[in-house]
Amino acid sequence: MAIFQPGVRHRYHNILKRRKGKRSVTAMLSLTAMVDMFTVLAIFLLQSYDVKDFIVYTPKEVVLPKANSIKELKPAFVVTVSSKEILLDKDTIASFQEVKSQSDWLIQKLHDRLKEGLVKSKQDFDAKSKNKIREVVDPKAIVEIEDPNTWRKITIQADKDIDFLTVKKIMYTVSVAGAGEINFAVTKKPNDTQSQ
């Protein structure tokens, strides 16, 4: 290990010291500007960070209609209607043209898949409710009053230019399958003054 003379040394003394007989070029990066930029970026991202319970997958081809009077999206089965296909959550159910051209309002595949999903969702909800009863026995546990229809909520996210008859077919099918509350996914109007 090298022995140095006691006293203050510059951090880059090895780089800065001139070497005999050779022409040296010293380059030092100023990190202050980069740290400033990182700080501003981190503050901006932290401010716009939004923690949500439920994030819905929206395909690129789906342009949602805009509305002023909106509510926060809640966990539910999501039926997506784009100009190409119909999806339940992320699984493709049928092509849009197929559904549009059929005269029968019931979309059989969507009905069967949703019914299966609703049965499972009900079982999960019942199991959760039993746990809640157990919690009631414990006085320390916090009791939450939950909507009994949570397990059968449906969110329809359809492209704004889709014909209403196709949306009606979807609504009819989900109702027959046993769905309760139907909600429509929208985006917030940018210059709104009246919102809930």
Partner 1 sequence: MAQVSSGKSGGRNVEVELNLVPIIDLMSVLITFLLITAVWTQVSMIQIGSSLYAKKLDDQPPPKPPPHADYVLKVDVKATGYILTSGKQIISLPKLQNDYDDAGLAAQLQRIKQIYPDKIDAVVSVSDDLAYENLIRAMDHLLISGFSNISVATGGPN
Buried b or exposed e, range 106-115, using 16+ CB within 10 angstroms: ebebbbebbe
Pairing of strands 85-88, 66-67: unpaired
Which stretch, 13-21, 42-50, 88-96, 124-132, contacts partner 1 (CB under 8 A)?
42-50
Best CA proximity match to 156, nearest among 82, 45, 68, 60: 82
Region for residue 63 given its phi and psi (left: phi exceeds 0; alpha: psi -120 to 50; beta: otherwise): beta
Which stretch, 46-54, 88-96, 113-121, 135-143, contacts partner 1 (CB under 8 A)?
46-54
Q: Select 106 or 141, whichever has its Cβ closest to partner 1.
A: 106
Q: Select 34 or 141, whichever has its Cβ closest to partner 1.
A: 34
The helix-helix angle for 108-137 and 164-177 (nearest 10°) equals 50
Q: Measured between alpha carbons, how far is 132 from 137 in angstroms, rounded to an integer?
A: 9
Q: Select 46 or 137, whichever has its Cβ closest to partner 1.
A: 46
68 lies in the site for partner 1, by CB under 8 A? yes
59 lies in the site for partner 1, by CB under 8 A? no
39 lies in the site for partner 1, by CB under 8 A? yes
User: What x/- string results for residues 19 through 38 when contact with partner 1 is judged by CB under 8 A?
Assistant: ---------x-xxx-xx--x
111 lies in the site for partner 1, by CB under 8 A? no
- In the complex, minimum distance from the CB of residue 180 to partner 1, in angstroms, rounded to a whole number: 7
DSSP state of 113: H
Q: Select 36 or 116, whichever has its Cβ closest to partner 1.
A: 36
Between the CA of residue 145 and those of 71, 130, 162, 182, what are the distances in Å? 19, 13, 37, 21
DSSP state of 167: H
Residues engaged in binding partner 1 (CB under 8 A): 8, 11, 28, 30-32, 34-35, 38-39, 41-42, 45-46, 48-50, 52, 55-56, 58, 64-74, 103-106, 148, 155, 157-165, 167-168, 171-172, 175, 178, 180-188, 194, 196
